[in-house]
Amino acid sequence: LKGDGSEIVLDLFCGTGTIGLTLARSAKHVYGYEVVPEAIADAQKNAQLNGISNATFVQGDLNKINETFGKEFPKPDIIISDPNRPGMHMKLIKWLLEVKAPRIVYVSCNPATCARDLDYLCHGVVCLLLLL
């Protein structure tokens, strides 16, 4: 992040918000998406416990996005994607290529699906790869 509070961060597969909330103090706003309702409740609670008011967490299945996905937040400057082992659905990869965020951080615990997803993504955007 630039650190000047001007950037929009989209945290996909955000879980309890750990990555997004870590960046929130340096961002304009963080939007987190996660399929597990309990994780979203925990992310909201974590934001409250840490005095972070510029984070919004939404429960939704990123494997089932449609043409309205992304309309509820401004264009992100940074997208963080931390998908589960199967990686990202092609609908989400297509959306990422269309939105053309300047930076995507892909966090992965599965080199095979990471390589597959990055093969698609890196044709249109600059990628930063983090393998855990």
Annotated catalytic residue within 14, 109, 114, 127 = 109
Side chain identity, residue 98: E
Task: Fill in the DSSP letter of residue 112.
Answer: H
Q: List the structure tokens of 28.
A: 């304009």
Q: What is the DSSP annotation of 53-109?
A: -SEEEEE--GGG--TTTTTTSPPPSEEEE---TT---HHHHHHHHHHT-SEEEEEES
Annotated catalytic residue 109: yes
Cβ proximity of 5 and 28 under 8 Å:
yes
- 13 annotated to a ligand binding site: yes
Identify the CA nearest to 110 among candidates 128, 89, 88: 88
Q: Which residue is associated with the tokens 């855990």?
A: 132
Residues annotated as part of the active site: 109
> Residues at the annotated binding site for S-adenosyl-L-methionine?
13, 34, 82
> Residues at the annotated binding site?
13, 34, 82
